[in-house]
Structure 1
Amino acid sequence: MRPFLFCIAGVLCLFVSCKKPDYEKVLHNPDLYRITVKKLNDIVLENNFPPVTASRNYVYANIAAYEVIAAGDPEHYRSLSGQIKHLPSTPRPAKDTTVDYQFASLLAFCYVGNAVTFPEGSMDQYVDGLKQKAKNAGMPSDLFEGSVNYANKIAKFILKWSKGDHYAQTRSASKYTVKQQDGRWIPTPPMYAQALEAHWGEIRPMVLDSTAQFIPPDPPPFNIKDKNSKFYRQALEVKVIVDSLTKEQKHQADFWDDNAFKLNVVGHASFATKKFSPGGHWMNITGIATKAKQTDFNTTVSIYTQTSIALFDAFINCWYLKYRSNYVRPETIITKYMNADWRPYIQTPPFPEYSSGHAVISSAAAEVLTSKFGDHFAYTDSSEMEFGIEPLSFKSFREAAKSAGMSRVYGGIHFKNACIVGNVQGREIGQLVVRKLKLKSN
């Protein structure tokens, strides 16, 4: 019997060794990366990060995750070091160290996400859960330790690099000076908030040669007396559209509102409602697309990363233009010169009008996603259902980007010109990101 038992044991060992380890099934599932990005998105929402700073949260966390993947599979993925000209060479694992690169990628994302958001430690419990998943699924202790250590190494490297982007300096920069000057932006009701991130155009971009690259022509000059002037006609156009909104136009305005902090005033009481930022919305769209196409873990990480880079640079470029133009919002013009009781359909955000941030960043993200999935990728965006807003379906990412831009006109917070121009501006940024960054080697 002994030889027979030995044979059975040998066959069982062979069978077990050929099986995919349980920890790989659990941790190499791209759904887990999508869930991890959504976790950061939820933290960003809960803590009122404005759109521009939210884009910074996403980009550094995704780059950390991607650099781990590139280190683990250099045959198929290229490091961003050198492609992003100011990103130094990424550290490699210590010699004789074993690393599960997908697990380390998840941890690196969380470590960086934890450090660039607040309150401190927001992702600690989630990280503990990831580590427990690895242990429960049977990851060997040496592989576990090697993965944790490498994730820490990459996270520290990315965080050190991030500190050179001029973000810290903008925290103490001078505040925007409000001037009662015709055609110039001033705070709007109900918050009358100070200008948001007036120095974001000074942040170091990833791919743009300068923050001033792809700047469109100036908007129409202030001229409210001449009813045939472009300025007057664009203001009247917004008023007419908002005064006669269709159900579908209202749906689009609500769907793309993405207001991280809306102040609701009822009588003498006020309260805030929150949604994820425009960048967070496009992170969700990235998740929808990668899931629909069933991309593997590494591809999923790379697509999130390139999309987040496009969003980051698009916000910098747009914010530079906003605070160069200091252009007035439709609400200010319409209530002062046309109808004092008029209000936009959605709440006007606290920064200058030109150009439309949502149009710019949506088009930039759409170009990256189009390069991955094609220009006829039809999908249904259910991102807003958690806020009680019905899904919208699109024939392509570019169609979605145009919808996002026009939604700001329906909302009454932008002139149409800013959205048309913003769409072109964002497309140029997105195409630049696609041309310059070659994440996959083949």
Structure 2
Amino acid sequence: MPACKEGSVAKYASAEAYNKAAADPALLHACTQQLTAVIVHDVFKPPVASRIYAYSYLAAYEALRYQSEEHASLAGKLNQFTTVPAPDPASAYCFPLAGVTAFISVGKGLTFNQALWEEFEEEFYRSYQQMGMPAEVYDKSIAYGQEVAAHVLSYAGQDNYKETRAFRHTISYQPGGWEPTPPVFAEACEPQWNSIRSFTLDSVAHFAPPAPTTYSLDTNSAFYRLTKEVYDTGINLQEEQKTIAYFWDDNPFVTSVRGHAAFAEKKMTPPGHWIDIARTVSQQKKQGMLEAAETYTLTALALNDAFIACWDAKYKTDRIRPVTVITQHIDKGWMPFLETPGFPEYVSGHSSISAAAGRVLTHTFGENVAFTDSTEYVYGHGVRSFASFEEAYWEASMSRVYGGIHYRDGAEQGTYLGERIGDWVWALAKGNKQELLAVESNKVPVLKASTE
């Protein structure tokens, strides 16, 4: 980005004035939307997208927090995360500028399309140059943001991500074992994701869900009843259920097959959907930039760790998808309303990460915060309103049953897993030992009544 030249623009009267302008939360929200646009363009898989969000927001928060003594570093709280380099106490900084610079630098470092970032940066940094801060303050703030970003990128480089790139899943061919699903029969997604270092979990199985219902084709078995529920729901799908399933689809690469040709459409990822919900409510509640950065950061950490725990359960249980059982044993012509994603069923990823994010946002904003979610409007999925985050994440969970891609126990147990992780992330970040103990005591909750 270009350096700020002294005297090139009209100056504000004081440091207080340009710092206030620089801390406009709309600037951080704009960075958020840009990162999502790049993630959609680059077609990152949902677990990978969650990792990108988490490191980008962590960098923004760690640089921004120096503007307030009330916001503590996450160093020492997150696994293996050490203190970022401190700013020079003898120098003047604009920490909001440092924060967004750290965010952009990490986002660029973890994504592919640099041209999209360069186009964004040119206009984005021009708005900061027009605030009239001294050139020395501008340049030092940019440099400090980049220093924090380098620290976070080094931290990211040690999370085992690179080492997992060459792994492929071996199909077990055991009864009840997962196998690729139509229409594209894709390879299993991220089979080694449980080896990625989490930010907050003691182990990937810290909140391991109970074992799934035992596979059985006996028509009196619990598993067959779960399968029959998916089948019956699918052939009698109500319009509202279709709307809910489609709204929460969040498939980043939807495939349409026509004859021998396959067409794909890029869309929002599940973590991107919840990041945008965080943005919506942050704006609704008029959070300042630092408060918004904290909201984004804790939400993203919960999303990331929920994916890791969920993927651990998926590949350990290796559970078959409904479409495979139904087409092989009940109705060979049946197809789910949504495209089945390419990885094992138990537990539901969308259920897990939605509940994790929803719990963090509930702790942040309150139990009964109504909001309207227009995240997917640009993709033709409509707009929905909710009375609370809990209502939203349970609807997201049940959407997977309506869509025909999950059994009820996979959706429900995924939700319980995510709830515990969201509570854990919040309590750990806030240093609340009493809350941590409460979450620990509820590792395997009793299955509550199903909701429809």
Q: Which moved more, 1:139-148 or 1:57-66?
A: 139-148
- Within the alignment, does 1:185 sit opposite 2:149 as a pair? no
Match of 1:99 among 72, 85, 93: 93
CA contact (8 A) 1:356 1:414 kept: yes
After superposition, the C-alpha distances for 1:297-342 in whole angstroms (9 at most, x for unaligned) are: 1100110000000000000000011000000000000000001010
In the alignment, the residues of structure 2 paired with residue 378 and residue 267 of structure 1 have an alpha-carbon distance, to the nearest angstrom, of 45
- Within the alignment, does 1:412 sit opposite 2:412 as a pair? no
Q: What residue number does 2:84 align with?
A: 90
Q: SS in structure 2 opposite 1:262?
A: strand
Q: SS in structure 1 opposite 2:344?
A: coil
In the alignment, the residues of structure 2 paired with residue 423 and residue 329 of structure 1 have an alpha-carbon distance, to the nearest angstrom, of 18
Question: Within 5 Å, which residues of 2 pair with 1:156-171?
Answer: 156-171=150-165
CA contact (8 A) 1:220 1:230 kept: yes
Kindly tell me the number of residue pairs found equivalent between the two proteins: 422
Match of 2:146 among 152, 161, 172: 152
Q: What residue number does 2:448 align with?
A: none
Q: SS in structure 2 opposite 1:408?
A: helix
Q: SS in structure 1 opposite 2:256?
A: strand
**Which letter does structure 2 place at the counterpart of 1:208?**
L
CA contact (8 A) 1:206 1:313 kept: yes
Question: Within 5 Å, which residues of 2 pair with 1:43-442?
Answer: 43-73=38-68, 75-120=69-114, 122-173=116-167, 175-224=168-217, 226-438=218-430
CA contact (8 A) 2:85 2:147 kept: yes
Which ranges of structure 2 fall in alignment gaps of 5 or more residues?
Answer: 1-11, 433-452
**Which letter does structure 1 place at the counterpart of 2:372?**
T
CA contact (8 A) 2:79 2:198 kept: no
Q: What residue number does 1:9 align with?
A: none
CA contact (8 A) 2:22 2:94 kept: no
In the alignment, the residues of structure 1 paired with residue 334 and residue 172 of structure 2 have an alpha-carbon distance, to the nearest angstrom, of 23
In the alignment, the residues of structure 2 paired with residue 214 and residue 429 of structure 1 have an alpha-carbon distance, to the nearest angstrom, of 7
Q: Displacement, 1:139?
A: 2.1
Q: What residue number does 2:440 align with?
A: none
In the alignment, the residues of structure 1 paired with residue 27 and residue 238 of structure 2 have an alpha-carbon distance, to the nearest angstrom, of 39
Segments ≥4 residues shifted beyond 6 Å: none
**Which letter does structure 2 place at the counterpart of 1:35?**
A
Q: Identical aligned pairs, as a percentage?
A: 38
Higher alpha-carbon Rg: 1
TM-score (normalised: structure 1): 0.93
After superposition, the C-alpha distances for 1:319-374 in whole angstroms (9 at most, x for unaligned) are: 01100000000000000000101000000000000000011000000110000111
Q: Displacement, 1:94?
A: 3.0
Which ranges of structure 1 fall in alignment gaps of 5 or more residues?
Answer: 1-15
CA contact (8 A) 1:334 1:342 kept: yes
**Which letter does structure 1 place at the counterpart of 2:58?**
I
Q: What residue number does 1:37 align with?
A: 32
In the alignment, the residues of structure 1 paired with residue 125 and residue 114 of structure 2 have an alpha-carbon distance, to the nearest angstrom, of 19
The change in CA–CA distance for 1:18 and 1:24 in structure 2 (over 3 A counts) is closer
In the alignment, the residues of structure 1 paired with residue 157 and residue 47 of structure 2 have an alpha-carbon distance, to the nearest angstrom, of 16
Q: SS in structure 2 opposite 1:271?
A: strand
Q: SS in structure 1 opposite 2:385?
A: strand
CA contact (8 A) 2:268 2:376 kept: no
After superposition, the C-alpha distances for 1:216-243 in whole angstroms (9 at most, x for unaligned) are: 111111111x111011111000000011
Q: Displacement, 1:125?
A: 2.4
**Which letter does structure 2 place at the counterpart of 1:131?**
Y
Q: SS in structure 1 opposite 2:113?
A: coil
Q: What residue number does 1:12 align with?
A: none
Q: SS in structure 1 opposite 2:376?
A: helix
